[in-house]
Amino acid sequence: MLIAKQKKDENIAEYLLYMWQVEDIIRANKLNIDLIEQNIISKFEQTESVKAEIYDWYKNLIDMMKYEGLEQNGHLQINKNVIINLTDVHLYLLESKKDQAYIASYYKTLPFIVELRSKNGANAEPEIETCFSALYGYLMLKLQKKDVSGETQAAIAQISSFVRLLSEKYKQENK
């Protein structure tokens, strides 16, 4: 909760990746608030009132995940809404043609998006979601200490650069 609040204000891309990780952490703890309290919340060096807020935050996320049928996979609607909002900003920037640096970054990233979508059969998901899926997958590989090819690293570097720029534009648009 504390990290999520900070990330949401500072960098929407980091926030979304963090929230996807939280979803996976909740699943790893079997959507059980007692396990989350034991394995996560108790480790925070915070006051009891802050820990109670964190507990409530996780409990609400668990309830939402159960309600939305996300026990095994998928993303909460609140996180899907972030993708929708980022996609709206993305499309606005492309259509307005005011920001040539953004447009150039998008077209430099587009071949990687197309390749990922063809490999994963994810043609129905928004391009921005494809970018986030790639970044999240890469983060998971790094956490598992798995080797990543140079080609994949180059693709991730470009996608990351593009998403960073989109996040900055999102923040500017929402001020």
pLDDT digits (tens, 9 = 90+) for 28-40: 999 999 999 999 9
- The count of C-alpha atoms lying within 13 angstroms of the C-alpha of 45, restricted to the half-sphere facing its C-beta, is 0
Please state the pTM of the whole predicted model. Answer: 0.93
Quote the pLDDT of residue 132.
Answer: 97
**In total, how many domains does the chain have?**
2
The domain in which residue 99 lies consists of 77-173
Query: Does 72 fall in a domain?
Result: no
Domain stops at, among 25, 44, 67 = 67
In degrees, to the nearest 5, what angle opens at C-alpha 125 toward C-alphas 146 and 139?
Answer: 20
Quote the pLDDT of residue 65.
Answer: 98
Domain stops at, among 67, 88, 119 = 67
pLDDT digits (tens, 9 = 90+) for 99-112: 999 999 999 999 99
